[in-house]
Structure 1
Amino acid sequence: MSAKNLDNCNRWRNKTVAFRVSPEESERIDKAVRISGLTKQDYITRRLLCQDVVVQGNPRVYKALRNELVAVLAELQRIEAGGSVDNELLDIIELIVIILGGLKGECENDG
């Protein structure tokens, strides 16, 4: 059995919550987690409790955003060649826009 640990807010986290998702849902969750900069546990907990997911800009977040934008560009090029737009692409674009909007506000507040 693992040792009990306190989290950042001095809470015991000793309950396990598990659920199944499809491979597509798992990939969408993983993408959102990567570009949020949070751990998967923190991201899912905040989303389930309807709390704001605040992205803190750091090199890992910027790299994840860059990689997602490269994937978006490839999808847009596929669409330009005659493909169709899928909802997953639109969801990812919306998430990136929200995050970049928050980072922009963060940079304006710093300078």
Structure 2
Amino acid sequence: MSAKNNDMQGRFRRIVVAFRVSQEESDVINRMVALSGLTKQDYLIRCTSNTDIVVQGNPYVYRSLKYELNHFIDEFKHLGNLEEIELDDLIVLRRVLEIVIAMHDKKMAQIKVQKESPEK
């Protein structure tokens, strides 16, 4: 049995919340979680409670950033037109750029959870 997981106020988390997503949505969620450096549970709780996500620079986050940047370099090499990029990739690219810009001078980046959709 896993260890008890308490929240920041010491309350025991015993309620399970589950929902269905498509494979594409799951991929985006997993990529965003990897970039945040948080657990999936903590990431989703902070997103739903509209709490800022503070990305701490650590090897896991840097590896995720490197992976995503290499992914986008490969995407841009193979695309003839920027309009061919999928919306899911644009959402992740925007988050990657926010993190990189915020971490330029600091070792951490505070990312505001936004409810807006990317403009076309």
Shared fold, TM over 0.5: yes
**Matches of 2:102 and 2:42, distance apart in 1:** 19
**Partner AA of 1:86 in structure 2:** E
Q: Structure 1 residues 3 and 40 mapped into 2: Cα distance closer, same or farther (>3 Å)?
A: closer
Structure 2 partner of 1:14? 14
SS in 2 for 1:67: helix
- Residues 37-76 of structure 1: matches in 2 within 5 Å? 37-76=37-76
Report the Cα offset of residue 101 of structure 1.
2.1
Answer yes or no: is 1:101 the counterpart of 2:84.
no
Report the Cα offset of residue 93 of structure 1.
1.2
**Matches of 1:107 and 1:46, distance apart in 2:** 20
SS in 2 for 1:54: strand
Q: Relative CO higher for 1 or 2, CA cutoff 8 Å, sep ≥ 6? A: 2
**Matches of 1:69 and 1:11, distance apart in 2:** 38
Residue identity over aligned pairs, in percent, reads 40
Structure 1: state its 5+ residue gaps.
none
Q: Structure 1 residues 12 and 86 mapped into 2: Cα distance closer, same or farther (>3 Å)?
A: same
**Matches of 1:4 and 1:97, distance apart in 2:** 36
Structure 2: state its 5+ residue gaps.
109-120
**Matches of 2:92 and 2:5, distance apart in 1:** 34
Structure 2 partner of 1:79? 79
Cα-to-partner distance string for 1:14-72 (whole Å, 9 max, x where unaligned): 11100010000000000000011000000000001111111011001000100011111
The structure with more strand, counted as a fraction of residues: 2
Structure 1 partner of 2:113? none
The structure with more helix, counted as a fraction of residues: 1
Q: Pick the structure with greater CA Rg.
A: 1
Structure 1 partner of 2:91? 91
Q: Structure 1 residues 58 and 84 mapped into 2: Cα distance closer, same or farther (>3 Å)?
A: same
**Partner AA of 1:32 in structure 2:** M
**Matches of 1:83 and 1:77, distance apart in 2:** 14
